[in-house]
Amino acid sequence: MNGSDDEQHDAHVMCYIEARFGDAVANAYDRHLAAAGSTDERDAAYSMSVGRLIDGRKENPEFGNVLNLAVVVGLTGPLKDYLASDKPLSPQDRDGLIAFIEGQEQPIASREKKRGRPQRDPAAVSEAERAERNAAWLVAFCKAAWCKEHDSERVPEAETRRMIALAIAEASKAFSVPAELIKEDNIRSALKSGRIVVR
């Protein structure tokens, strides 16, 4: 085989998708197989299944169109409606549906294998956490302005406490969160984390 299995598979899939748009591409698929010099049984079986799918689209263009919407565009509603109706499914239609479902199962399996800490959904952040994060930014800007005004690299602790108290009051009003839910420790942690940098 020429190239890696992944490259071959990608080329086959591209030919399959192109074949969904017309008969002329079936010839392109045959040219691809000839150029690849493939004599592998898998390639021959894949070629046969693509041929069956193309023939199935000719026999039942309505199913071919809704399957095409699901595969290429990601719009599965018309496919669900077609399957829920009493409309017929030929063996070629069933092959196309099986190929689509197998294609959907592979990304699901790859998501299950991810390691490490899962990403946090930004929409799941509470209003108190948003208020703390914004208060931390406000304190960072106040500290930067104070340092510039006083020609100093550090803000005294008493001044920092005052800035945090003012930021908590401001964030409480802006986010409609009780001030006692906005924690000074979380604001200090955000400032020390290095994620909040004012230049």
Instruction: Delimit the domains of the chain by residue range.
Output: 5-112, 124-192
Average pLDDT taken over every residue of the chain: 75
pLDDT band per the 50, 70, 90 thresholds, residue 25: very low
Place of tokens 């071959």: 8
Residues ≥6 apart with Cβ < 8 Å to 132:
171, 182, 183, 186, 187, 190
Q: Is the per-residue pLDDT at 18 higher than 60?
A: no
CB 53 within 8 A of CB 25: no
pLDDT band per the 50, 70, 90 thresholds, residue 151: very high
The helix (run of H) or strand (run of E) holding residue 31 is: helix 24-36
Higher pLDDT, 192 or 110: 192
Kindly report, residue by residue over 30-86, the tens digit of the pLDDT. Answer: 555 555 555 555 556 556 655 655 555 566 777 777 777 776 667 778 877 888 888
The reported pLDDT for the residue numbered 30 is 55
